[in-house]
Structure 1
Amino acid sequence: MKFIFSFIILIASICQQPVLAQSKKEAGILVQIETNLRDAARQYEVMMQLVPPGQFPRTYNAGIDKFVTSNSSWWCSGFYPGSLLYLYKESKNKVFLDEANRMLGFLEKEKNNKNTHDLGFMMYCSFGNANKLNPSEKYKDILLTSAQSLSTRFNPTVGCIKSWNGKPGEYLVIIDNMMNLELLFWATKVTGDSSYYKIATTHANTTMQHHFRDDYSSYHVVNYNSQTGAINERKTAQGFSDASAWARGQAWGLYGYTMTYRETRDQRYLDQANHIARFILKHKNYPADGIPYWDFDADNIPDALRDVSAAAVMASALLELSTYSKENKKTYKAAAEKIIMSLSSERYKAKIGTNGGFILEHSVGSIPHKSEVDVPLTYADYYFLEAMLRYKSLVETGKI
């Protein structure tokens, strides 16, 4: 009788456990993700010892053993606290929360920075995640002030938020700017003030109209006339050429329109995200392992450098897009799984205790500027962590 009772208790407990994987493949990926997250925690424990007071991790130069940092006004400043918060969410290790809070203290003043379009990256990836974990009026006020600051860069004649401050009469907008709209959508939901929503959707619409070619590849930069909204030129800053498809730019577009569909449920944005995904995944130069060359049109493919940061952004975006696109669900999921497993390999993932504590190697910042070439980058780590946690959540909830 005792044995039967114990057996019944065992079966009941098993039945109450969440279904962590629906297939053998998913189970294997989840095991790898758990390993990656443990390794990431160990790496960031290393990194925490290298960060100078008031500075934010940017990259690491292995050739000269140099850990490179920035101040809080650099566009990447939000990714380190954001990554720490992802690690805390997963591990519940208070060390990561304490370090994130320390960094948020240095970052808070950027809420008033009206000289950058990157407040979404800087403030929503940091304080936005902090507010999700521990909602507070303080975080809310910081984020709303950030949204107000970002809104000041919107020009209704052009229909876009200005990215870079150019010459008189120029109005420079980069595809990256799609990523910063999430902060504005959040502000409308919290306040009920539709002005943020209107700015975000107007920017998305203008970008959709003028940034994309017929094949749904994206220009990096569109230079508008600030007085009339007419287009002066379309060009690149970080890509191979003005006519090329810079890999991270395609990733920003994919993620940006997927997110914009989530926030609006406007079919146009879902269609745009699907078009961009199709361009990426069907491209003749898209590698079998899912880690794109730094530019789809680089002149030395297959010897061109890969860009791990673009891959990480793509993986996270494709996972979310798979939940919206019924006809492409399996395709997007498989592509994201391929990227996650490739980034988990020795080719791209750093050994514990190396790489300045960064998780991933082999990202490309800007080859034309000879800046951050074939190095770890803080945003590659952030979006890799996001992709892995997103995958876990979607499998565990049965949404993928």
Structure 2
Amino acid sequence: MRLFTLVAAACLTGSSWAASVPAELFSPLVASKFLQTAQNVPNPVQYPQYTDRSQGVWQYFPADYWTTGFLPASYYALHTRFASLCPNSSAAQQFLDLGRSLSAPEVALEQHTTVGHDVGFLSFPFVQELAVDSSNQTAVTAVNTFATLLADRFNPIVGCTRSWDTSDPTDFQVIIDNMMNLQVLFDSMALTGNTTLRDIAMSHADKTAQNHIRPDGSSYHVVEYNSTTGDVIRRRTAQGYADNSTWTRGQAWGIYGFANMYRNTNESRYIETARRMASFYLSQVPSDGIVPWDFDAPLDPPRPADSSAAMIATVGLLMLSQQEASLSPSNTTGAQYWSNAAIKLLSDNTAFAWKPEWQSLLSNGTVNNPASPPNNLTGIIYGDYYFVEAGNQLISMGLASCSGNSTSPASPSSSIQPGQQHTSGAPRTRRMWLL
């Protein structure tokens, strides 16, 4: 395997890479807010997706939506934290019970769902349940059923699983987000031994790397194929600023998705793609460290931030760091580079978006800025989920303790306050070599 060693030059402008793990990751508010949300869940069960913009109150939606799995998955993540990382047996059991009860309404989606490719996200709590109880047949059935639903969307001519359904069957649309759904195929393969699921995942990832990722490591949101020829018809965006811009949440999905493909396959092309996407991401983060909704969106009118994109990228960078460390020989320079970058990204965006008085953990998320009206400046359930995951990963990596202490020196926090639009201009300059 070819070993890439990342060496970052010290010529940064704006602020230092040195940063401390934000104490908010382990604040008592994390657990208490999720406990309060569980009490507020409607009956029949609906799930929070985002908050209102003024008071941070969760807005609830029926189960048949792509974000449904994130609330129960958050309870499983907190169970993991209190079961092993920061032991508290009563809290661990409480969060496990909540994860199980709030994932139960998803079972009906095995028979009928409109979320299409996003069944991978729906599988999250069931995969986490199997980590607790591998004999749970309800969870086994859910993972295998969701994997089958995703595999049924695979077109061997295109080489991808279809993302969005269209009225024209020849218009085969694939979005960068779909990299995140491939994990359910590997999870089902582990349960069934069906290696065809692995082949589908790798084909989809290879085509995505070929057609979504630009030479500089940035990404298109949507690629439309002709389903009968496999030819690319169009590259565009649906939630970014422009077809040729880089929507930051999509870029974050890509970092995580390709790093995860390497974790599942050990194929070097996937970690190389994750590195390229991560390098581009970090090169575009403005000098204040706050991730905007789209890296290429103009500053006038002020562009909104997206804390959810920052949290997803953080977890993707931490995964990439762990993979660099696991190489033989270990790429310790690369591992430290990505983990330092992840902590800096996490620290800056937590300082900006932490909102104690809201029902969500974080504010300043952008759901869909091109929507009419724009859906931004909110808390977002998947932003909160990856915030919790970031804390768990940092403890697992020995980079933080349950009290929030970090092995890295502290740096000044952002001066921008929650609820503001993101108006920073030129990105920091950074040089990087791949040797």
TM-score norm. by structure 2 comes to: 0.79
1:146 aligns with 2:146: yes
What stretches of structure 1 move > 4 A for 4+ residues in a row?
none
What is the CA-CA distance between 1:113 and the residue it aligns to?
A: 4.2
What is the CA-CA distance between 1:31 and the residue it aligns to?
A: 5.5
1:380 aligns with 2:380: no
CA offsets, 1:103-125, max 9 Å, x none?
A: 111111222346410011111x2
Cα distance in 2 for partners of 1:242, 1:225 equals: 19
Structure having the larger proportion of residues in helix: 1
Query: Do the aligned partners of 2:394 and 2:400 also contact (CA within 8 Å) in 1?
Result: no
Q: Please tell me the residue identity of whatever aligns with 2:390.
A: A
Cα distance in 2 for partners of 1:279, 1:339 equals: 14
1:338 is aligned to: 344
Taking the TM superposition and a 5 Å limit, the aligned residue runs for 1:10-89 are 29=21, 33-35=25-27, 38-53=28-43, 54-63=45-54, 66-89=57-80
Query: Do the aligned partners of 1:164 and 1:173 also contact (CA within 8 Å) in 2?
Result: yes
CA offsets, 1:188-224, max 9 Å, x none?
A: 1222111100110000011111111111111000011
Taking the TM superposition and a 5 Å limit, the aligned residue runs for 1:91-130 are 91=82, 92=89, 93=91, 94-113=93-112, 115=114, 116-123=116-123, 125-130=124-129
Q: Please tell me the residue identity of whatever aligns with 1:360.
A: L
Cα distance in 1 for partners of 2:204, 2:391 equals: 29
Cα distance in 1 for partners of 2:252, 2:160 equals: 20
Query: Do the aligned partners of 2:56 and 2:379 also contact (CA within 8 Å) in 1?
Result: no
- How many residues matched? 365
1:289–1:41: structure 2 CA closer, same or farther, 3 Å change rule? farther
Q: Please tell me the residue identity of whatever aligns with 2:340.
A: A
What is the CA-CA distance between 1:288 and the residue it aligns to?
A: 3.5
Cα distance in 2 for partners of 1:31, 1:373 equals: 25
Cα distance in 2 for partners of 1:194, 1:84 equals: 31
Aligned-residue identity in percent: 33
Cα distance in 2 for partners of 1:377, 1:65 equals: 10
2:426 is aligned to: none
Q: Secondary structure at the match of 2:348?
A: helix
Give structure 2 stretches of 5+ with no counterpart: 1-17, 83-88, 325-330, 402-406, 408-435
TM-score norm. by structure 1 comes to: 0.86
Greater RCO between the two (CA within 8 Å, min separation 6)? 2
Q: Please tell me the residue identity of whatever aligns with 1:56.
A: Y
Give structure 1 stretches of 5+ with no counterpart: 1-24
What is the CA-CA distance between 1:301 and the residue it aligns to?
A: 6.8
Taking the TM superposition and a 5 Å limit, the aligned residue runs for 1:1-400 are 29=21, 33-35=25-27, 38-53=28-43, 54-63=45-54, 66-91=57-82, 92=89, 93=91, 94-113=93-112, 115=114, 116-123=116-123, 125-135=124-134, 136-168=136-168, 169-283=170-284, 286-300=285-299, 303-325=302-324, 326=331, 327-345=333-351, 347-351=352-356, 354-355=357-358, 357-369=359-371, 370-395=373-398
Query: Do the aligned partners of 1:117 and 1:177 also contact (CA within 8 Å) in 2?
Result: yes
1:212–1:201: structure 2 CA closer, same or farther, 3 Å change rule? same
What is the CA-CA distance between 1:371 and the residue it aligns to?
A: 4.5
2:429 is aligned to: none
What is the CA-CA distance between 1:257 and the residue it aligns to?
A: 0.1
Q: Please tell me the residue identity of whatever aligns with 2:177.
A: D
CA offsets, 1:98-147, max 9 Å, x none?
A: 22222111111222346410011111x21111221222232112111111
Cα distance in 1 for partners of 2:287, 2:391 equals: 20
2:412 is aligned to: none
Cα distance in 2 for partners of 1:289, 1:329 equals: 24
RMSD between aligned alpha carbons? Answer: 2.2
Query: Do the aligned partners of 1:289 and 1:338 also contact (CA within 8 Å) in 2?
Result: no
Q: Please tell me the residue identity of whatever aligns with 1:184.
A: L
Q: Please tell me the residue identity of whatever aligns with 1:152.
A: D
Q: Secondary structure at the match of 1:233?
A: strand
Cα distance in 2 for partners of 1:301, 1:316 equals: 30
Q: Please tell me the residue identity of whatever aligns with 1:266.
A: E
